[in-house]
Amino acid sequence: MFDPNAQSEHDDEIELNEAEVWLEELENIAGSPVDADPEYIELRTQLTAYVDGHQTDIENLKELVKRVQRYLKQQNLENE
């Protein structure tokens, strides 16, 4: 019997695993000057909340991942 909730839980698990990956990406660029950047601090704090299980809203996580991707792209361009 098909359980639609089972698929949803699986999707949520994938999203939360993605939070760990993006947190690692942010941690890879840690150091001066990004450590003092308020946006970096905010993104890292929010991702950490998902990884630690304090935050579980998947829709917000999807938006957060998009913000992290834009931030990393911007940092990459600035460092070239």
Mean pLDDT score of the chain, rounded to an integer?
86
The ranges assigned to domains in the chain are 32-80
Q: Where does the chain have alpha helices with state H?
A: 4-28, 38-51, 58-78
**CA–CA gap between residue 47 and residue 36 (Å, rounded):** 17
Give the pTM: 0.78
Task: For residues 40-51, give the mean pLDDT.
Answer: 95
- Percentage of residues of the chain with pLDDT beyond 70: 86
Torsion angle of C-alpha atoms 64, 46, 50, 17, degrees rounded to 10 = 50
pLDDT digits (tens, 9 = 90+) for 2-19: 454 556 666 677 788 889
